[in-house]
Chains A and B, each alone.
Chain A
C-alpha cells in the first residue's frame, strides 16, 4: 500500500514532538518530510539562555540529531524556508524551489520576535533573542565588545541580560514598565528581582522608553537614546519586546488567522481539514500558548488524529511562570496583581530575599507570586486550578503544603543545593542524580514524564516541588502547565466527578453501562479506572449495583494482603482492639498448624499473621473463627481505643465501649479509600485520635469529634468537627460524615484530601447544620451495610471466587 504523505513546516520542539508521538502510534502510516528554516536539527529552544550564560553548550541542547531523522526515514530539508503552499495541488514550496507533496500538512512555524519600529533597528549589532544564530551573535559580541543594552525586561530579556553579564559584558536593561517582569510579578517581587540582579553587576533603567538606536561610523550600533534625551553607549542591542505567532505563511495561503492560526480542539485548522497546526503559531480558543507543556499536549492530541485514531481533544491549559536565571527562584500564576474585589496575604522578608503574595477572591485562591522560595508553587497552582474554597485553610495557606509532617526528603526545599546522591523521592528511592540524568538522556519536559520514567513524585507527591525545580534547571521545562480537567485515566476523558454524576443522575448500574455512556476508549478499562467505577456503582446504588470481583485489586479479591513474595497476611478483627484468651489460643494454634513465619502486633491494635500461603487462606480463616479485619481493602480498618474510664485513673469516658460500638456499626464498609477511627477517653489522647479519618476524644462533658486526620506519607492533623454529649450522637455524626465521604469522595482519595477538595464548611453544612440530611446520611449508611457478608465466611454472598485458592492443575 502506498503511504500517505505528511509534510511538516517548521522544525521546532512542538512540531517534532508531534512527529515523535505519531511515530509511536503509527510508525508506518506516513512518508514524512520536514522543512526547517534554521540550519540545525530540532533543539531545545528554552535552553538557549543557559547556553548564552555558558552553563551549557549548543551540542547539549540538540534534542533530535540528524541521525534521528534518518533512522525514521524522514526527509529533512534544513535551512529551507517554505514560501508557499499550493493547497489545491497539495504541494509545499521552499525558497530554493524544493517541493514536497502532502496528504496532511502540519504547520509548526512557532513565533517571531517582535521588533518595535525604532529608528536604527536595522543597524549591525541589533538583534533579537530567538534562535541559535542570535545566541551565537551574542556570544561573539561578548568576546570583542563591551557595552550591551537589552530592551525589554520580561523573561527573555532578563535571561539575555544575565547571560551577557555572565560573559563579561557591561549590561544595561531597559524596561518601559515601572518594574521588571511586570506581566509575571508585582512591584515588590519585581524590585527584589532587580536588587538581586544588580548585585550581580547588571544595570537597570525602568520606566524608560527607548527612542532610537544610534549608529557609529562603521555602521554598527553605538548608542541608545531614550525619550528623556539621555544616551548610553551600546555595541550590542538585544531586543526582547515579546513574540508574535509566526503566521506569515499561513496568512499567505489563506488560512484563517487571529493572533495565530485558528485551530479546533483536534488541532486541525478551521480553514483546511488537511492542514493541522501546533505550537506557538497555533491559536486555540483564542490563546496562542508559549510554554512547552501545553504545546506538547497539543502535539500528542494532534498525533492521535494524524494517526487516524480520532481520539482526544485539547481543552486548553492553565500556565504558570518560572525564570531560568540560576540562583533566582520566582514563580507566578493567575491574577497575582489582585484588584478591588481581592484580598491579599503577604509575607515579606526583604533581608532574606523572600516574598510571597497570595491573592484571594470570593474565598478562592486566584493568584500567587512567589520570590525566593518557590517550593510551594505547585501547591498554590493546584489550588488555583481546582478553584476550591480556601476559607478553612486560610491561616495555614501562606506556609504551603509541606510546612509540617512532610517526610522522605530530609526537609530540603532547594533542589539546587542538593547533592546528586541526595534522595529526592523517599517513596520510590530516587535521588537527584537519577532524575537529572533521566531528564537529560530521555529528553523529559514535564512532571508527568519524569514521574513515568523515574517514578519520582509518583507516589505521595510531597517532593513534587523539588522535582519541578530539577526540571527547571536541567531541561528548562515549564512543567507546570496542566490540562484544565483531569481524566480518571488514559481510557477516557471523563473526570471522577463526571463519572459519579452520570452514575447517580442516570441510575447506571454496571461498569459496561458507564463505559458505553461515557464512550470509554478501552473495552474493559484498566487497573486504574475499573476499581474506581466499580466503587462508584456500589456506593451510589447499594443492593442494586452488583459488585464485580474482577474490578478489585488482588487484596480485595483474596481478602488478604499480598506480600512481596506472593504470600499473604491475615489480620482478624479485634473489636476496639480488645481480645480474649480463647481468640489468642486459636491464633496460636493457627500459627503452629499452618507454620506462619511472622506474627506481629499492628499499629491498629490487632495481630497480623504474615506469610500465609494463598491455598491456606480459607482454612486459616475457618480455624481462627474471627471476623475479617478488612486490613486489605478500601474499607473500615480499625477503631483504635485507649482503655478509658473503665480502668484508667485519668479516663473521663468509656472510650473502649464507644470504639467497639463504632467498629460494629461500620465494619464491612467499602469507601473511596481506607478509613481509620480512634477513640480516646481523655484529652491525653492515647489512641492518637488527632491523626485519624474520624478521631473522637472524650472530655468530662462529652465527646469532641475530629475529622480528616492522616498519619501516613504526610502527617495531617485532624480538624475539629463538632462537640457532642452522648455516644449515640457520636455514632450518628461520625456515620453521617463517613457516608458523605463515601458518596462524594473520589476513588483513592483519603478523607483529608476529600476535605481539602470540598472544604470543611461544605461538610459542616450537610452534617451539622442540616439535621434531616444528617439523619438521612446515617440511615443510608446503615442501609448500605445491613446484611453485608463477612467475606471470610460467606464466600458466595461476598462474591469470593474460591477457585482462586487452588491451582488449576499441578505438573
Chain B
C-alpha cells in the first residue's frame, strides 16, 4: 500500500508551468501541470547537465530544459531522441483537486545525487539565444 502525502492543490501550479518541492539535503522534485490539467512529477534535474526542469517551458506532455533545450517527456522522464537519458519520475495522485506524492518514493528516489556534467555537446538554439548578456 502506498502512503500518499498531499503536497498542494492543482491550482497552486500554474497551467503549463511547474512548482518545486524542496527536499532538504537532496535534489528537489518538480511538479508540473500541463494544458489539460494533468499533473506530473520528476526529479528537478535534467539528465543532460542537471538543469532545473521546473524552470522550463511546458508544452504537450513535455518540458524543455531551461539550460540547453533538451525536451524531456513528463510521463517517463526520458529525453526526446536524438538526445539520450532519463531523469527519475515520481508517482502522482490527484484527488478532489489535491496533488499527492508517494512518501516512500520521496524518501528513497533520486536522493543526494550530485550534478554530473555529461560529456555530450551542449544543445542547440537556446544555448545561443539565451547567452548571458550585459
A residues at B contact (CB < 8 Å) = 425, 427-430, 442, 451-456, 458-460, 522-528, 530-531, 549-551, 553-555, 557-558, 561-566, 569, 571, 602-606, 608, 631-632, 637-638, 673-674, 676, 712-713, 748, 801, 803-804, 807-811
* CB–CB A528/B133 < 8 A: no
* CB–CB A553/B128 < 8 A: no
Whether a CB of chain A sits under 8 angstroms from the CB of B106 is yes
* CB–CB B66/A553 < 8 A: yes
With both beta carbons as reference points, the residue of chain B lying nearest to A567 in the complex is identified as B52
Whether a CB of chain A sits under 8 angstroms from the CB of B109 is no
* CB–CB A811/B106 < 8 A: yes
Given contact pairs A803-B14, A807-B21, A808-B21, A558 touches B55 in the complex (Cβ within 8 A): yes
* Proximity bits, B115-134, A CB within 8 Å = 1, else 0: 10000011111111111111
With both beta carbons as reference points, the residue of chain A lying nearest to B6 in the complex is identified as A809
Distance of A808 Cα from B8 Cα, bound (Å): 7
Given contact pairs A427-B128, A455-B122, A566 touches B60 in the complex (Cβ within 8 A): no
* CB–CB A524/B16 < 8 A: yes
Distance of A105 Cα from B52 Cα, bound (Å): 47
Chain B contact residue count (CB 8 A cutoff): 53
Q: Of the candidates A453, A562, A565, A807, which one forms a contact with B82 in the assembled complex, judged by CB atoms under 8 Å apart?
A: A453
Q: List the B side residues contacting A561 at CB < 8 Å.
A: 132-133
Distance of A757 Cα from B113 Cα, bound (Å): 47
* CB–CB B133/A637 < 8 A: yes
Distance of A666 Cα from B15 Cα, bound (Å): 32
Distance of A634 Cα from B27 Cα, bound (Å): 31
Q: Of the candidates A523, A549, A809, which one forms a contact with B36 in the assembled complex, judged by CB atoms under 8 Å apart?
A: A523
* CB–CB B66/A550 < 8 A: no
* CB–CB B134/A530 < 8 A: no
Q: List the A side residues contacting B52 at CB < 8 Å.
A: 562, 566
* CB–CB B15/A428 < 8 A: no
* CB–CB A712/B24 < 8 A: no
Distance of A454 Cα from B124 Cα, bound (Å): 10
Q: Of the candidates B13, B34, B124, which one forms a contact with A451 in the assembled complex, judged by CB atoms under 8 Å apart?
A: B124
Distance of A370 Cα from B5 Cα, bound (Å): 68
Please list 28 pairs of residues, one from A and one from B, whose beta carbons are closer than 8 Å in the complex, sorted by A's number.
Answer: A454-B121, A455-B121, A455-B124, A460-B128, A522-B59, A523-B35, A524-B16, A527-B64, A527-B69, A528-B125, A550-B16, A553-B66, A554-B55, A557-B55, A562-B130, A566-B50, A566-B51, A566-B55, A571-B134, A603-B134, A606-B134, A638-B134, A712-B131, A801-B17, A808-B21, A809-B21, A810-B23, A811-B22
Whether a CB of chain A sits under 8 angstroms from the CB of B89 is no
| Top 8 closest pairs, chain A to chain B, by CB | A604-B134, A527-B64, A602-B134, A808-B19, A807-B22, A554-B55, A554-B66, A428-B121
* Proximity bits, B90-118, A CB within 8 Å = 1, else 0: 00000000000000001100000001000
Q: List the B side residues contacting A632 at CB < 8 Å.
A: 133
Distance of A492 Cα from B131 Cα, bound (Å): 27
Distance of A421 Cα from B61 Cα, bound (Å): 39
With both beta carbons as reference points, the residue of chain B lying nearest to A461 in the complex is identified as B128
Most chain-B Cβ atoms within 10 A of its Cβ — which of A554, A606, A803, A810? A554
Q: List the A side residues contacting B124 at CB < 8 Å.
A: 451, 455, 458-459
Distance of A522 Cα from B36 Cα, bound (Å): 12
Q: Which of B10-65 contact A (CB under 8 A)?
A: 12-17, 19-24, 28, 31, 34-36, 49-52, 55-60, 62, 64
Distance of A555 Cα from B8 Cα, bound (Å): 25
Distance of A389 Cα from B119 Cα, bound (Å): 43
Q: List the B side residues contacting A427 at CB < 8 Å.
A: 122, 127-128
Q: List the B side residues contacting A549 at CB < 8 Å.
A: 14
Least CB distance from A504 to B in Å reads 24
* CB–CB A550/B15 < 8 A: yes
* CB–CB B57/A527 < 8 A: yes
* CB–CB A808/B16 < 8 A: no
Distance of A473 Cα from B53 Cα, bound (Å): 39
Given A524-B59, A811-B106; 18 other pairs, CB 8 A cutoff: A428-B121, A428-B123, A459-B125, A522-B59, A522-B60, A524-B16, A526-B59, A527-B56, A553-B66, A554-B55, A554-B56, A564-B67, A748-B129, A801-B14, A801-B17, A807-B20, A809-B22, A811-B22
Distance of A531 Cα from B69 Cα, bound (Å): 13
* CB–CB B127/A811 < 8 A: no
Given contact pairs A569-B132, A604-B133, A808-B13, A748 touches B57 in the complex (Cβ within 8 A): no
Q: List the A side residues contacting B51 at CB < 8 Å.
A: 566
Distance of A456 Cα from B106 Cα, bound (Å): 38
Q: List the A side residues contacting B50 at CB < 8 Å.
A: 565-566
* CB–CB B130/A674 < 8 A: no
Q: Of the candidates A555, A803, A811, which one forms a contact with B130 in the assembled complex, judged by CB atoms under 8 Å apart?
A: A555
Q: List the A side residues contacting B13 at CB < 8 Å.
A: 808
With both beta carbons as reference points, the residue of chain A lying nearest to B49 in the complex is identified as A564
Q: List the B side residues contacting A712 at CB < 8 Å.
A: 131
